[in-house]
Amino acid sequence: MTAHTVTEPTAAPDARRRRPPGITFASFQPLGIDAGLTAARWAEELGFASFWTAETTGLEAFSTLSAAGCAAPTLALGTGVLALQLRTPLLAVQGAATLQALSPEREINLGVGISSTAVVGRWHGARYGDRPLAQTREWLELARPLLEGEKVTHDGDHYAVGPTRLGVRLGERRPRLVLAALNERMLRLAGELGDGVLLNYLPASAVPWCVEQVRQGELAAGRPPGSVRVSAYVHVGVCDPGAARAKARRDLFGYAVVPAYAKAFERAGFAAEVAALGAAFEAGDRSAAEAAISDDMIDAINICGDADTVAAAVDAYEHAGVDEAVIMPLPWGEDRLGTIRLTMEAVARRDTGRSGDARRERLELAESAFRTHGHRLIDWVADYWRRTDDLPVGPSVEPGWVRSQLDAHPPEHGGDLAGAVADLDRVIVPALTHWQAPGFFGYFPANASPPAVLAELVSAGLGVQGMLWATSPAVTELEQHVLDWLVEACGLPEDFRHRRSDGTPGPGGGVIQDSASSGTLCAILAARHRLDAGTQRIDSLVVYGTSETHSSLEKDARVAGIPKARVRAVPTDGVLAMDPEALATLIEEDRRAGLVPLLVCATSGTTSTGAFDPVEAIADVTEPLGIWLHLDAAWAGSAGVAPELRWVSDGVERVDSYLFNPHKWLLTNFDCSTLWVRNRAALTETLSIVPEYLRTAQSEAGEVVDFRDWQVPLGRRFRALKLFFVMRHYGLAGLRDHIRTGIADATWLEEAIVAHPALELVAPRSLALVCFAHVDGDDATGRLLEAIADDPRYLCTRTVAAGRVSVRVAVGSPRTTRATIEQFWAFLVAAAA
Ligand code: PLP
């Protein structure tokens, strides 16, 4: 047989008709199903149109495609190819119809073909048949009406069925019948009866002749030319062609010994190779037979090289008349999955235009990855929240485990965002404490919520930096606005507002800090300025808290140059609240000793037991002396959204600064700590530095707030968006509900504890915080704590209150329900027995 004449395609490929590329899993199934699913996701991300799979002795085609369809919901799916002798027409149609029923809008390609005697006979023990063309015709003639849902009766040479009908209800869209064809008669049959034809193992130069045969088939059947879509597997790999050649040779050899492929290779211009190979093979010399495959043949069919070579190869097939190039990645680089990714990227880049602008291409790829993974990650996060109902609350990994799971070296080549995403489940989730879990009662809650997380995403995506009003007015003004909203929501003083209720500017204002620690530091710095740090010696300043004040006070004082020795712990009363008389005494002693009392930090809701310092009485001490009074309501402040709980900020109208953390208990994920000052002057004066490059006309004119002057760092994130989304989504009513249900649950638990003979409260319940101990003493409470720590459902913190080891239960996760609390109580009762 002589090589066919290659005719030029009659017209340049019609760009509108050409479909985006597809990918087949046929060449890399040995890497495992995960590799296929990863490639399917990549395909979607990179703008491919279809995902195909083969079937010999490995993965079963329809179940593989079902999974791929879930992994990549937008891709068309195809079998390429099913050995048609192995499935009856009805069974194959059932498989395709099942896929179609799963996604009625998706394109499903039922690709079938005559497979080799080895696959059909030797491996599957089915009958190869002596009239493959006739069998194929009959198969197609049966499959078509079955796909259409018709009742079929057929009595032919190969199949006798009926009356029978496909029992799957389909909508408008039906699977397409695609016939794999190599020789003239099969190509014509595809033209006559198929919706598509699939070419394989052919060089681009052989395509025009194949297309011509298909068109002849269409003509003979009276179908308009082009009725049948021409798809071709294009074998390409971004890898070193020299190194890949041995694999390519072996691959082609395996096909060249199959008579139908041998004939196709001959026609495609490789008659000499086929002849030499055949002779050597007959003589039993396998290595000579392999060696007969020339480099030219390899380079024409199994095309390896750089990204441009690969892209040009796909172009060549399309120019030769292929409507849909389905790449068969040759995974012959050192990193096989990486080679597949690079190959796919090379092909995808053709459509974004090989502009030669690598920066642009990098950007487009990253944005495309963002869309693909982003949509899925929203689901992942939402699923994660649900999963926390069942996950063990605390991590069970050994120190170092996380690092042991990760590559020691950073990746040189990227493209593995999918791998990083997969590592969330593999490495990250097992090593987390699930703060959002219903049984998380430790520390204080750190509420995440869907609207807050969406705002976080938007804020990250906007990527703006709100250090000045001018660097993004929305960042500053939204922050002023939502902090004014919070003043109203929590019944805080008018002076805290940027704009008073009557529309006039207020003397104070609110600002979002990353944490309460930073807010308290700002208060100390402002207090120091107000005292006129220029005239006061820093080594004379003293700050006051209690033993119950959060440790951040001491740290902040240290940062501000005030050592531990001048951080006073004012004695507390029986409920661990600051004793104002003792405060007055300490201040007096310090003053007499020549020291300068700078700031008193009162707490509403201390960390250990939720105690409340008497702010009014403390203000009676500080006010006459001009000492800065700071009120830390980091946890309890959120409760102020409920009018009946406004007492949490009693006395707040007499403090100089006030803070609370919506990131604890107000459904706003970390970080978001809100700080208000009654008068902003001291704060902004102490923190304002204006280099030339940060001067703006609006600032100079005093028209705007620049929040860089309200915090230690210059740069700042767009955090206000979180509060904005949270308040818009839940409304104050929703936020109140959240607080109230947490408190009601804690009250239920408190009452159960009070009624139980073996347990007792060590401090009065504070809002949603309950601290209790075993009546038998610290050892018994210690055993209770151990039992809690051993139970994967719960996490509590240990504390010492009134000198007693105690169990601290902080309720407040949005996933906690009364049922969670009741179950926890049943567990406690058993553990305390
Ligand atoms: N103040 C109080 C009363 C706290 O309970 C906490 C933390 O639990 C803090 C301050 C410190 O909060 P942040 O982590 O926001 O600095």
Q: Which of 635, 649, 673 to mutate to test the pocket of ligand 1 (most atoms within 8 A of CB)?
A: 635
Rounded to whole angstroms, the Cα distance separating 492 from 677 reads 11
Q: Which of 515, 546, 552, 766 to mutate to test the pocket of ligand 1 (most atoms within 8 A of CB)?
A: 552
422 C-alpha vs ligand 1 centroid, how far in Å? 34
Helix (H) or strand (E) holding 241: helix 241-256
Return the half-sphere exposure (C-beta side, CA atoms, 13 A cut-off) of residue 242.
0
At CB < 8 A and 24+ separation, what contacts does 565-568 make? 566/541, 566/542, 566/595, 567/542, 567/543, 568/542, 568/543, 568/544
Q: What is the pLDDT of residues 555-603, one digit of tens each?
A: 999 999 999 999 999 999 988 999 999 999 999 999 999 999 999 999 9
Residues 6+ apart with CB under 8 A from 455: 721, 722, 724, 725, 726
Ligand 1, residue 444: give the atom nearest the CA. 8
Is there a contact between 48 and 344 (Cβ–Cβ < 8 Å)?
A: yes
Please give the span between the terminal C-alpha atoms of the chain, in angstroms, as a whole number: 92
634 C-alpha vs ligand 1 centroid, how far in Å? 5
pLDDT at position 671 over 50: yes
Ligand 1, residue 607: give the atom nearest the CA. 5
* Confidence class for position 532, pLDDT limits 50, 70, 90: confident
561 C-alpha vs ligand 1 centroid, how far in Å? 21
Rounded to whole angstroms, the Cα distance separating 774 from 169 reads 64
Q: The tokens of 445 are what? A: 């809650």
Identify the pLDDT of residue 82. Answer: 96
Q: What rounded mean pLDDT belongs to the chain?
A: 93
Q: Which of 512, 513, 550, 766 to mutate to test the pocket of ligand 1 (most atoms within 8 A of CB)?
A: 550
Rounded to whole angstroms, the Cα distance separating 57 from 584 reads 86
Whole-angstrom Cα Rg for the chain = 37
Residues 6+ apart with CB under 8 A from 594: 540
| Cα 254-320-213 angle, rounded to 5 deg | 75
User: Phi and psi for 305 in degrees, rounded to 5?
Assistant: 165, -160
Ligand 1, residue 671: give the atom nearest the CA. 15
DSSP for 651-662 reads TGGG-SEEEE-H
Q: The tokens of 535 are what? A: 């005239």
User: Phi and psi for 80 in degrees, rounded to 5?
Assistant: -150, 85
Identify the pLDDT of residue 515. Answer: 97
Identify the pLDDT of residue 412. Answer: 83
Region at 8 (left for phi over 0; alpha for psi -120 to 50; beta for the rest)? beta
Counting DSSP H helices and E strands in the chain, the numbers are 29, 23
Identify the pLDDT of residue 531. Answer: 87
Ligand 1, residue 606: give the atom nearest the CA. 3
Is there a contact between 238 and 333 (Cβ–Cβ < 8 Å)?
A: yes
pLDDT at position 14 over 50: no
Ligand 1, residue 514: give the atom nearest the CA. 15
Measured from CB, residues less than 6 Å from any atom of ligand 1 are 444, 515-517, 550, 552, 603, 606-607, 632, 634-635, 661, 673
Ligand 1, residue 636: give the atom nearest the CA. 3
605 C-alpha vs ligand 1 centroid, how far in Å? 10
Q: Which residue's CA is minimally distant from atom 11 of ligand 1?
A: 516
Identify the pLDDT of residue 351. Answer: 60
Compute CA 803 distance to the chain's CA centroid, rounded to the nearest angstrom. Answer: 45
Q: The tokens of 214 are what? A: 């298909």
660 C-alpha vs ligand 1 centroid, how far in Å? 9
Q: What is the pLDDT of residues 432-462, one digit of tens each?
A: 999 999 999 999 999 999 999 999 999 999 9
Ligand 1, residue 519: give the atom nearest the CA. 16
Rounded to whole angstroms, the Cα distance separating 669 from 662 reads 8
Identify the pLDDT of residue 366. Answer: 80
pLDDT at position 13 over 80: no
> What's the average model confidence in pLDDT over 680-701?
90
Identify the pLDDT of residue 352. Answer: 54
Q: Which of 660, 661, 668, 719 to mutate to test the pocket of ligand 1 (most atoms within 8 A of CB)?
A: 661
Q: What is the pLDDT of residues 534-543, one digit of tens each?
A: 566 777 999 9
Q: What is the pLDDT of residues 27-52, one digit of tens each?
A: 999 999 999 999 999 999 889 999 99
Q: The tokens of 526 are what? A: 């402002």
Identify the pLDDT of residue 741. Answer: 97
Identify the pLDDT of residue 694. Answer: 87
Q: Which of 518, 601, 613, 632 to mutate to test the pocket of ligand 1 (most atoms within 8 A of CB)?
A: 632
Compute CA 753 distance to the chain's CA centroid, rounded to the nearest angstrom. Answer: 41
> What's the average model confidence in pLDDT over 683-694?
90
* Confidence class for position 701, pLDDT limits 50, 70, 90: confident
pLDDT at position 192 over 70: yes
516 C-alpha vs ligand 1 centroid, how far in Å? 5
Is there a contact between 793 and 415 (Cβ–Cβ < 8 Å)?
A: no
443 C-alpha vs ligand 1 centroid, how far in Å? 10
Identify the pLDDT of residue 2. Answer: 37
pLDDT at position 11 over 50: no
530 C-alpha vs ligand 1 centroid, how far in Å? 25
- Output helix, strand, coil percentages for the chain, rounded to the nearest 5: 50, 15, 35
Ligand 1, residue 633: give the atom nearest the CA. 3
* Confidence class for position 355, pLDDT limits 50, 70, 90: low
| Cα 687-688-689 angle, rounded to 5 deg | 120
Give the other-Cβ count within 10 Å of 825's Cβ. Answer: 15
Task: Give me the residues paired with residue 599 across strands.
Answer: 543, 628
pLDDT at position 9 over 50: no
Task: Give me the residues paired with residue 601 across strands.
Answer: 630
Query: Helices marked H in 696-755 — which ranges?
Result: 697-700, 720-755
33 C-alpha vs ligand 1 centroid, how far in Å? 47
517 C-alpha vs ligand 1 centroid, how far in Å? 7
Q: What is the pLDDT of residues 150-162, one digit of tens each?
A: 999 999 999 999 8
* Confidence class for position 764, pLDDT limits 50, 70, 90: very high
The DSSP bridge pattern shows strands 108-113 and 176-180 to be parallel
Ligand 1, residue 443: give the atom nearest the CA. 8
Q: Which of 512, 548, 578, 607 to mutate to test the pocket of ligand 1 (most atoms within 8 A of CB)?
A: 607
Identify the pLDDT of residue 535. Answer: 62
Identify the pLDDT of residue 7. Answer: 38
Task: Give me the residues paired with residue 761 across strands.
Answer: 772
Q: Where are the beta strands (DSSP E) in 547-656?
A: 567-570, 596-603, 628-632
Q: Where are the beta strands (DSSP E) in 535-611?
A: 541-546, 567-570, 596-603
pLDDT at position 186 over 90: yes
Rounded to whole angstroms, the Cα distance separating 272 from 256 reads 12
pLDDT at position 727 over 70: yes
Ligand 1, residue 515: give the atom nearest the CA. 15
* Confidence class for position 10, pLDDT limits 50, 70, 90: very low
Residue 697 exposed, middle or buried by CB count within 10 Å (0-12, 13-18, 19+): exposed
Q: What is the pLDDT of residues 625-670, one digit of tens each?
A: 999 999 999 999 999 999 999 999 999 999 999 999 999 999 999 9
Residue 133 exposed, middle or buried by CB count within 10 Å (0-12, 13-18, 19+): middle
Query: Helices marked H in 626-696 — which ranges?
Result: 662-665, 681-687
Ligand 1, residue 603: give the atom nearest the CA. 3
Nearest Cα to Cα of residue 383 among 447, 450, 458, 433 = 450
Report the percent of the chain where pLDDT is more than 90.
85
Compute CA 131 distance to the chain's CA centroid, rounded to the nearest angstrom. Answer: 53
At CB < 8 A and 24+ separation, what contacts does 724-729 make? 724/455, 724/478, 724/481, 724/482, 725/451, 725/452, 725/454, 725/455, 726/449, 726/451, 726/452, 726/455, 726/662, 726/666, 726/667, 726/668, 727/482, 727/485, 727/489, 728/451, 729/449, 729/450, 729/451
Q: What is the pLDDT of residues 356-409, one digit of tens each?
A: 677 776 777 787 778 768 888 999 999 999 999 999 999 989 999 999 999 999
Rounded to whole angstroms, the Cα distance separating 663 from 672 reads 5
Identify the pLDDT of residue 534. Answer: 56
